[in-house]
């Protein structure tokens, strides 16, 4: 059995299934040992008196035992495999909840392919051990011990001679277990790389085709696949060697039983019984049949022992990987006695705020002091890498920040309930992710009771209603994986519509109109100023025209606030803003000249 912090609880939860299954398995193991005894008695009868009535009765007993074995095997298969599948399902559910709770940083450091491997290969390996592994452990333990006891009671000398190879199996299993665990861990890591490579290529298939790099990626995949194959072959080779040696030892046991047993029976029947270790061997043909029957029953526990060792090694390595995932710290979470936001106005305050990403050794934002009043429309501009996205991302509590430096409506953000905080913020990220679902459902994603009408309201706000109605299925059009069937501008506007229908007191648009034309951009910005009047809106932009009509603009330069004022005043006090305005005017002149 497997034991560990994240699996022990399930033995209590599903203990009744394991108990019923193991009891049924033990009953099957016990009654099947009756069959060799019945066969031995048949041989005795045929050899001595030929009582056909007794033979008929013994045949009936064999049928009854076989029926009992059938029922018992049916019960243990239903219960033990049911328990293993339930534990697998519970672990997968627990892992999914963990995956949702882990912070964004975890997925920066861990590839999606590896996570998918843990959810599939590793959980299936654990489930196999809990099901078949339990059967093999019980059989290789109880059935082998019970069989060996009966063999010793029948004939000690024959048992001693035939069971010497069993010691070799145990020694070989102990030696091999560590190597199997190491090889399985290598195999799973190779699978991780294969998953990672495949997932990345399928996601970026359009780029690969656009640059005609199919052949290059095929060769690259071949290398990854070859490495995976080599590791799997190495593991299979070790497993086969282990199984072959087990089979050889089992065959050796049967050969010893037949050779020595036949010799002892022949000598006894001819009046010259063999004496070994001071004991005269008095074994008859019927006893030899019973003994060989026990040996035949003992073969399965020996095979099970050979299979359970590598299975345990695999499952232990897989459980270690799953446990490591479940033990991953959730650094970003609601504090004890967290404050739940209610009736949010949208006032945002940065007070001596500085921030560094966990893996960076420098500050992305430095000593930011800002107060955004409720209901204001604020633009955020600056050079690439100046900290624009970071400034708005910290509002969503994707990362921990220093206490008493960031406030929503006067409440320290580090004291707030995260779900409550995020529920009052609508966010349109730079990476406009759409689910493989209808456009209606994508727009209504943040609503519990959204309708096509609410989706259309959002689409009108984002200037994408005409586009959607132009599709054959309208709002029931499926966007495809990650919105692959839509243009960049359409995806951006559907993302804006999704944020708008949430009707949150705070709306964040992170460079969300970069892929739309000027006319559509003006429509969206006009709708922001009219339909979101009295609600706080933050617009991160690369173009000055995007934010020039908003209430105020924050200008960032190398992580610091260079200026925060109205667009008119920024032309007087902010060198960065002045430069951006001049560059934009120059671009317009160049475009005008070219046209």
Cβ neighbours, 10 Å, residue 530: 9
> Rounded distance, CA 290 to CA 420, Å?
73
pLDDT value for 96: 92
pLDDT value for 95: 92
> What whole-number percentage of the chain has pLDDT above 70?
96
Residues 396/427, Cβ–Cβ less than 8 Å: yes
Query: Domains along the chain?
Result: 8-323 (1.20.1560.10), 344-424+508-517+538-595 (3.40.50.300), 425-503 (3.40.50.300)
- What the block records as the tokens of 123 is 């959980």
Q: Where are the alpha helices (DSSP H) in 204-328?
A: 205-210, 214-269, 285-326
pLDDT value for 237: 84
| pLDDT tens readout for residues 538-556 | 999 888 888 888 889 999 9
> Rounded distance, CA 169 to CA 56, Å?
40
pLDDT value for 404: 92
> Rounded distance, CA 122 to CA 140, Å?
24
CA dihedral sign of residues 191, 194, 197, 200: negative
- pTM to 2 decimal places: 0.73
Of 502, 495, 453, nearest to 475 (Cα)?
Answer: 453
pLDDT value for 483: 67
| pLDDT tens readout for residues 287-311 | 888 888 888 888 788 777 767 777 8
In 356-470 the beta strands, taken as DSSP E runs, fall at 365-372, 377-382, 406-408, 411-412, 425-428
Residues 413/406, Cβ–Cβ less than 8 Å: yes
pLDDT value for 165: 75
Query: 595 by DSSP, 3-state: which?
Result: coil
Separation of first and last alpha carbons in the chain: 76
List for the chain the helix, strand, coil content (%; round to 5): 65, 10, 25
Of 438, 451, 443, 428, nearest to 479 (Cα)?
Answer: 438
State which residues of the chain have pLDDT below 70: 50, 173-174, 177-178, 306, 481-483, 587-595
């Amino acid at each position: 059995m497997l034991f560990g912090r994240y699996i022990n609880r399930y033995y209590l939860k599903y203990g009744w299934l394991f108990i019923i299954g193991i009891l049924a398995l033990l009953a099957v193991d016990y009654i099947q040992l009756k069959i060799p005894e019945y066969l031995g008695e048949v041989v005795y009868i045929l050899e001595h008196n030929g009582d056909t009535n007794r033979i008929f009765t013994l045949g009936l007993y064999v049928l009854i035992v076989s029926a009992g074995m059938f029922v018992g095997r049916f019960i243990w298969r239903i219960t033990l495999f049911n328990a293993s599948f339930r534990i697998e399902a519970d672990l997968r559910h627990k892992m999914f909840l963990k995956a949702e709770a882990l912070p964004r940083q975890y997925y920066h450091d861990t590839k999606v392919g590896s996570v998918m491997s843990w959810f599939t290969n590793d959980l299936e390996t654990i489930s196999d051990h809990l099901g078949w592994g339990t059967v093999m452990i019980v059989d290789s333990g109880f059935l082998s011990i019970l069989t060996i006891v009966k063999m010793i009671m029948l004939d000690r000398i024959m048992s001693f001679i035939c069971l010497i190879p069993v010691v070799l199996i145990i020694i070989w299993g102990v030696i091999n277990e560590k190597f199997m665990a190491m090889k399985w861990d290598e195999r799973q890591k190779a699978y991780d790389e294969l998953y990672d490579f495949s997932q990345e290529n399928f996601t970026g298939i359009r780029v690969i085709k656009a640059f005609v790099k199919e052949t290059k990626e095929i060769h690259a995949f071949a290398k990854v696949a070859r490495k995976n194959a080599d590791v799997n072959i190495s593991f299979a080779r070790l497993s086969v060697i282990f199984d072959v040696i087990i089979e050889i030892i089992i065959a050796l046991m049967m050969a010893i039983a037949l050779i020595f047993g036949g010799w002892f029976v022949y000598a006894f029947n001819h009046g010259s019984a063999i004496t070994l270790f001071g004991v005269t061997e008095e074994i008859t043909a019927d006893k030899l049949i019973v003994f060989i029957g026990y040996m035949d029953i003992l073969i399965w526990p020996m095979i099970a022992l050979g299979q359970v060792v590598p299975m345990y090694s695999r499952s232990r390595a897989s459980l270690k990987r799953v446990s490591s995932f479940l033990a991953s710290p959730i650094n970003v979470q609601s504090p004890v006695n967290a404050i739940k936001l209610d009736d949010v106005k949208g006032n945002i305050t940065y007070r001596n705020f500085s921030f560094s990403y966990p893996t960076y050794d420098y500050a992305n934002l430095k000593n930011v002091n800002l107060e955004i009043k409720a209901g204001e429309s604020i633009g955020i501009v600056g050079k690439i890498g100046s900290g624009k996205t970071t400034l708005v991302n910290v509002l969503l509590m994707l990362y921990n920040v220093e206490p008493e430096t960031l406030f929503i409506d006067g409440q320290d953000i580090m004291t707030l309930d995260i779900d409550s905080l995020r529920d009052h913020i609508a966010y349109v990220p730079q990476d406009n992710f759409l689910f493989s679902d209808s456009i209606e459902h994508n727009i209504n994603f943040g609503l519990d009771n959204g309708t096509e009408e609410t989706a259309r309201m959002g689409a009108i706000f984002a200037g994408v209603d005409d586009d959607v109605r132009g599709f054959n299925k309208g709002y029931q059009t499926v966007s495809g994986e990650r919105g692959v069937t839509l243009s960049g501008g359409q995806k951006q506007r559907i993302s804006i519509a999704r944020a708008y229908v949430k009707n949150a007191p705070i709306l964040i648009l992170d460079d969300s109109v970069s892929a739309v034309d000027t006319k559509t951009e003006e429509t969206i910005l006009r709708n922001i100023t009219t339909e979101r009047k009295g609600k706080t809106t933050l617009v991160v932009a690369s173009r000055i025209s995007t934010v020039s009509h908003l209430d105020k603009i924050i200008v960032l330069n190398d992580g610091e606030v260079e200026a925060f004022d109205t667009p008119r005043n920024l032309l007087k006090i902010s060198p960065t803003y002045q430069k951006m305005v001049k560059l934009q005017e120059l671009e317009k002149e160049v475009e005008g000249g070219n046209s």
